Chains A and B, each alone.
Chain A
């Protein structure tokens, strides 16, 4: 049972902007940085955003992250068909004896 809550689904048409929220608490998002992953079935997860709003090299600038208090969000602008995937937020949780937690996951559908 995850302590980071995401909406189960989100959708948009090509070119639109989609935002995914991630709600946590003071022991995880409130005191640690947030990471975002994209996961396609049958493949390894891909790190999209680290340290709240940083992109690893090779990740398009269409993906952006932000954090405020105990919540974080991922925005995908200029939605493309290849963005259809599952997205997860994640962070360390100091209140769980130093465990790493993933969010519940959001399935993004490109209509």
Chain B
């Protein structure tokens, strides 16, 4: 069974840093891109970042580019999101997600999600 478990969410002051983790199990982690998606209170879903299978390719939403860094440790089956220079608008539930694959091919839809971890940026 595929499982994604996020951790690391906390209350942090503006300008502070935080590292989120997403521990994966139930699938060959090193074979999949991984994504982070967030939802601010009362707002919609927003894609944050993605990383390719071996960690050599990353992309970021404009709102976090230069402040957030996604990485992965395939030996630990874990993807990370290092968040620096945090702002109030980064307050959100952060989810990690994996695409849906069936019959040997993968779609662009995220079928596996973690339960989310809450990041609150406030003084």
Interface residue ranges, A against B (CB under 8 Å): 2, 32-33, 35, 37, 39, 44-45, 47, 49-51, 54, 56-57, 86, 88, 90-92, 96-105
Contact = CB atoms under 8 A, between A and B. Distances in A.
A44 B45 CA distance: 11
Contacts of A47: 100, 109-111
Q: Which of A49, A51, A91, A104 has the most B CB atoms < 10 Å from its CB?
A: A51
Contacts of A37: 45, 109-110
Contacts of A100: 35, 47, 50, 108
Contact of B109 (A50, A99, A104): A50
| Interface range for B | 20 to 34
B111 A44 contact: no
A35 B47 contact: no
Interface in B34-53: 35, 37, 39, 44-47, 50
Nearest to B47: A100
A58 to B, nearest CB: 10
A3 to B, nearest CB: 11
A66 to B, nearest CB: 15
B52 to A, nearest CB: 11
A99 B45 contact: no
Interface string B88-123: 000000010000101000011111011110000000
Nearest to B61: A99
Contact of A105 (B35, B44, B47): B44
A50 B95 contact: no
